[in-house]
């Protein structure tokens, strides 16, 4: 059984890039366009992992992370951020994110980090 990953990013191009990398490895992909959409879909999809952009309209990644962790304290969340957002990354990790990817990223780094998060015990 393949893992389901919820890819959350307001940029369609970023969702497509992550979807292409992960679907080639057999992961099932669901997508959300912002934090509110992600929280709604999290409840119905129950993904094994969420990749979550930090800077989004409607609801940012930190607030989305907190909302998802409130729904499921065992949720596996991987933050995705642009360079120069170190303070947000620290806040995300303190709020329960398992790891983070910095944009732009290499496909091998995405796969390696996703596999690591899926293999780890949820916090």
pLDDT at 11 over 80: yes
pLDDT at 17 over 90: yes
Q: Identify the DSSP state of 2.
A: P
Indicate the domain borders of the chain.
4-119
d(CA 18, CA 110): 8
pLDDT at 123 over 60: no
Q: Is the pTM of this model over 0.75?
A: yes
The lowest-confidence range among 42-46, 49-53, 90-94, 107-111 is 90-94
Q: What CATH fold (topology level) applies to the domain 4-119?
A: Rossmann fold (3.40.50)
30 CB contacts (<8 Å, ≥6 apart)? 4, 5, 6, 7, 41, 45, 47
């Amino acid at each position: 059984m393949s893992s389901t990953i919820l890819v959350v990013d307001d940029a369609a191009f970023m969702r497509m890039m992550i979807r292409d990398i992960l679907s080639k490895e057999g992961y099932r992909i669901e997508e959300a366009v912002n934090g509110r959409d992600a929280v709604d879909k999290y409840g119905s999809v129950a993904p094994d992992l969420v990749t979550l952009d930090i800077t989004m309209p409607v609801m940012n990644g930190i607030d989305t992370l907190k909302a998802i962790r409130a729904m499921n304290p065992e949720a596996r969340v991987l933050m995705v951020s642009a360079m120069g957002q170190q303070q947000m990354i620290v806040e995300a990790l303190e709020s329960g994110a398992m790891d983070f990817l910095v944009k732009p990223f290499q496909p091998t780094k995405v796969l390696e980090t996703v596999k690591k998060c899926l293999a780890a015990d949820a916090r």
